[in-house]
Copies of this chain bind each other. A is one copy, B any other.
Amino acid sequence: MNPKLRVTVWGENVHEKKNKTVAAVYPKGMHGCIADALQQDSQLDVRTATLDQPEHGLTKAVLESTDVLTWWGHMAHGEVQDEIVDRVQERVLQGMGLIVLHSAHYAKIFKRLLGTTCSLTWREAGETERLWVCNPGHPIAQGIDRYFEIEQEEMYGEPFAIPNPDEIVFISWFRGGEVFRSGCTFKRGNGKIFYFRPGHEMYPTYHNPTVQRILRNAVAWARPDGKWIDTCPNVPVEKAPEKITERGPHMHKPGEAGYR
């Protein structure tokens, strides 16, 4: 009787149309590959949405019926409408989980929720990445050995300009000499957020079974605990928990909403 978790996989879907290498690696689009990986878990009900759809596929109805949203974007961050970013942020604060993938460290929604630049250093050289589990009991690391390797990946290096994460699940070692906090959790409002580093569009990273396992773990971890819509209510004097008498001058008239 446990209803399925409703997941929406958002993909920018631009590289796939413009670049033959990307198209060959991800014939169904990167979002299609990620959705297939998630669908292997029968407890997940998965659909996709892309930038080129009306409202980027993220209508109020879609978001309202999404428990966890995954987000991959890169060259078209600037084309995502602010109104849609507002809408996604609102849902995260209410409790929707958000999985932010690779180059989406620069997505508007990620910078909006974290408040920092989210910058990093980078190199595209197809070098080996080794991800170490530094939090072995974490739900997102279940079933993963002490480390795993990705033969070819883009390098992302520290400093990663984010607020201190709530938890660090993975740290990466790169052949070229850098390190990176590759799996980080945050909470904003009621929403759980997981940033996961791997996933350069030129390489078959999302076909990697270990990466797919982590995506499924992350989606399950990010499921909402409940829903909370904050309303900033005025509490009139007569409804104060303790009986008090109003004193002194007023700025606000009775029943007036506060300034926002």
A residues contacting B by CB (< 8 A) are: 15, 19, 21-22, 74-78, 89, 93-95, 103, 106, 112-117, 119-127, 130, 132-139, 142, 147, 149, 152, 155, 157-161, 163-164, 166-168, 171-179, 181, 186-190, 200-203, 224-228, 230-237, 240-242, 244-252, 258-260
Contact = CB atoms under 8 A, between A and B. Distances in A.
16 contacts: A77-B260, A106-B260, A113-B115, A121-B234, A124-B251, A125-B240, A132-B157, A132-B159, A133-B159, A134-B160, A149-B241, A157-B235, A171-B171, A175-B244, A178-B240, A179-B179
Given A115-B188, A119-B232, A241-B178, A74 B225 contact: no
A141 to B, nearest CB: 8
B179 A21 contact: no
A123 B130 CA distance: 18
Contacts of A245: 125
Contacts of A224: 137
A117 B93 contact: yes
A158 to B, nearest CB: 4
A173 B116 CA distance: 25
A137 B178 contact: no
B21 A249 contact: yes
A85 B260 CA distance: 16
Contacts of A120: 232
Contact of A93 (B89, B103, B161, B171): B161
